[in-house]
Structure 1
Amino acid sequence: MKVASPRQRLLRNTWFYVAAFLTTAFVATPILFALFGGFKDNQQLRDNALGLPNPWNTENYTDVLAASTFWRQLANSVGIALATTFIVVMAAAMVAFVFARYAFRGREVLFMLFATGMMFPFAVAVLPLFVILRTMGMLNSPLGVILPQAAFGLPLTIIILRSFFRAIPAEVEEAAVIDGAGPWRFFTTIMLPMARPALATVSVLALVNSWNSFLLPLVVLQESQWWTLPIGATRFSGQFSTDTAKVLAFVMLAMLPALIFYAFAERHLISGLTAGSTKG
């Protein structure tokens, strides 16, 4: 095997850092534009859209934070996201455990049935889902958002957790059985603690997907008291369409909780996605 020369390694690393820098700039530019734009007034945005605010204007952010509607929408988003994540992770963990550790007739067919859910576009299901929720009296209710979001989040979560559960050696289960542990005890006291990296990964994915969900809450939550932040941002931008700086401030504040959460959870997300491939 030919060993790369120092010059080749330097060139390869240089291109790697250039690509990383360009990708970071591509992602960070709109975020920084919204952040600094919220500290400007509309005249500054017209005259110097890409520059720093001069002077810095905090009124846009304070106006948004002083509005009770923003905090209500934030609470709605947090509640729906947490409930969705809990249901998705708990239900998927139990299903994935059965698919991973038990052999039964039709197992692979059932697993493929769950997997095909990833190929089913959500937009196609909006109309029948709306009819079902209206029939069940779940419109204008957080449950009308939580339960469908959880259902659509199950396929990917089950696939990730099943891969992790299958990677755990059979000797661990045999030792638990010898110690008198039944299936439920083995699942709750051994499998779930060992699966923390994978559970953290699917929790992050479910939480972020729920937080960013727009179409389903828009269809289901017609009363303003139940609006989430994505809907609130759309309504706010329509209400203050001529005040671009204030709209940018609202959008930035709506993004901030998800950005902070993802910054802290990124390590768990990466480790969980790679854990299943490194065990065995």
Structure 2
Amino acid sequence: MRAAFLSFIAALVILPLLATFLGGFKTLGELRAAPFGIPSEWSFTVFVDILTGSAFWGYLRNSLIISLSAVVLTVLCASMAAYVFAQIRFFGSRYLQSYMLLGMMFPFATAIVPLFFQINRFGLLDNPLGIILPQTAFSMAFAVVLLRSFFQQLPKELFEAAYVDGCGYVGFFFRFTLPLSTPILATVGTFVFVQSWNNYLLPLVVLNEQSLFTWPLGIMQFRGEFIVEWNRILAFVSLTILPALIFFTFTQKYIVAGLTRGSVKG
């Protein structure tokens, strides 16, 4: 029973991905006739056209710059905040944590209008920072929750020994806490990377120049006024999800280790 249920869940995830990948090898007529079937003739023309064009690599570069920058900023800022909440007791810390967690109660789309006015006010339209900074801010609450739980489980004796040797909070953070927190940092980084990589709404609002488009916006070039090139869209999606899959493949063991260690006490 368990195997059948897990197989069903796996099929729900794998079949759409497989149909997307196979759709890039089909013509528009064959795609309409048999969207989930195997191509009768494997045509690599669409993939070759996309890979040999400069637009695809430009969209990929823009997405990588934005996503990796969001990961670095989120991990750095959230780890510092979580370390303070986990190791230092000060007046109002619980209220400040609760205030930060309020951000997890509201979907990102609800803030898009005031966010647009603030980005415009700071002159960040058509600027990658107009995407990186809001994504970092909206990822902070979730990242702080995971990191704080992990930091609280670090042995207190380790800090006491470092303090006796003259190591303060800042030195302990960079010399001991961060090196010991590789699993949870990789977990947070992966979630932030995938979320930023797939973000469509914020780049749509912030970016107007095509040279700055990320890959979700780049798909729009295959949507015309009278026809939609679905085979090219599916091929484009297949190529652009590869970086996220590769990133997740290399970090999955750290993700599992970070989540499991952060979920139990002791």
* Higher mean displacement: 21-30 or 227-236: 227-236
1:143 matched to 2:132? The reply is no
Give the alignment of 1:54-133 within 5 angstroms.
54-133=40-119
**CA distance, structure 2, for counterparts of residue 279 and residue 241 of structure 1:** 56
Give the superposition deviation at 1:279: 5.1
Shift of 1:277: 2.9
Q: Which sections of structure 2, spanning at least 5 residues, go unmatched?
A: none
Q: CA deviation at 1:240?
A: 8.7
Q: Is the 8 A contact 2:81 2:144 kept in 1?
A: yes
Tell me the amino acid that sits aligned with residue 115 of structure 1: L
1:207 to 193, 197, 210: 193
User: Displacement, 1:151?
Assistant: 0.3
**Structure-2 separation of matches of 1:214 and 1:204:** 18
Any gaps of 5 or more consecutive residues in structure 1?
1-14
Name the CA shift for 1:190/1:239 in 2 (closer, same or farther; >3 Å). farther
Q: What is the CA–CA distance in structure 1 between the aligned matches of 2:82 and 2:95, rounded to whole Å? A: 14
State the secondary structure of the residue aligned to 1:29: helix
- Residue 41 of structure 2 corresponds to residue 45 of structure 1: no
Larger Rg: 1
Partner Cα separation in structure 2 for residue 277 and residue 190 of structure 1: 21
- Which amino acid in the other structure matches residue 39 of structure 1? F
Distance in 1 (CA, whole Å) between partners of 2:219 and 2:257 is 33
Q: Matched residues in 1 for 2:113 and 2:230: separation?
A: 33
CA-atom RMSD, angstroms?
A: 1.4
**Partners of 1:47 and 1:276 in 2: how far apart?**
49
Q: Deviations over 1:36-66 (max 9, x none)?
A: 1111112322333322112110001001111
Number of the residue aligned with 2:254 = 268
CA drift of 1:20 comes to: 1.0
CA contact (8 A) 1:163 1:276 kept: yes
Structure 2 counterpart SS, 1:222: coil
Q: Does 1:250 align with 2:210?
A: no
Matched position secondary structure for 1:259 = helix
**Structure 1 stretch 242-251 or stretch 100-109: which is displaced more?**
242-251
Q: Give the drift of 1:260.
A: 2.1
Asked if 1 retains the 8 angstrom alpha-carbon contact of 2:46 and 2:232, the reply is yes
- Which AA in structure 2 matches 1:225? S
> Which residue is equivalent to 2:202?
216
Provide the secondary structure at the position in 2 that maps to 1:40: coil
CA shift in 2, pair 1:238/1:29, >3 Å = farther
Looking at structure 2, the residues matched to 173 and 145 of structure 1 have their Cα atoms a distance apart, in angstroms, of 37
> Paired residues, what number?
266
Report percent identity of matched pairs: 43
Q: 1:236 aligns with which of 207, 213, 222?
A: 222
- Kept in 2: contact 1:100–1:162 (CA 8 A): yes
CA contact (8 A) 2:182 2:254 kept: no
* Shift in alpha-carbon separation, 1:184–1:123, aligned structure 2, 3 A: same
Is the CA contact 1:240–1:247 (under 8 Å) kept in the aligned structure 2? no
| Pair 1:164 & 2:156 matched | no
Distance 1:19 1:35 in 2: 25
What's the TM-score once normalised by structure 2's chain length? 0.96
CA distance in 2 between counterparts of 1:200 and 1:187 reads 17
1:239, distance to aligned residue in structure 2 (A): 7.0
**Which residue matches 2:167?**
181
Contact 1:37 1:49 in 2 (8 A): yes
1:271 partner SS: helix
Q: 1:128 to 1:279 in 2, by over 3 A?
A: same
- What is the one-letter code of the residue matched to 1:161? L
- Deviation string, structure 1 residues 221-263 (Cα, Å, up to 9, x no partner): 1111110001111343347944322221112112221122222
Find out whether 1:155 has 2:141 as its counterpart: yes
* Residues 265 and 187 (structure 1), Cα distance of their counterparts in 2 relative to 1, 3 Å cut: same
Q: Which amino acid aligns with 2:63?
A: S
Q: Is the 8 A contact 1:39 1:57 kept in 2?
A: yes
Residue 259 (structure 1) aligned to one of 245, 248, 254: 245
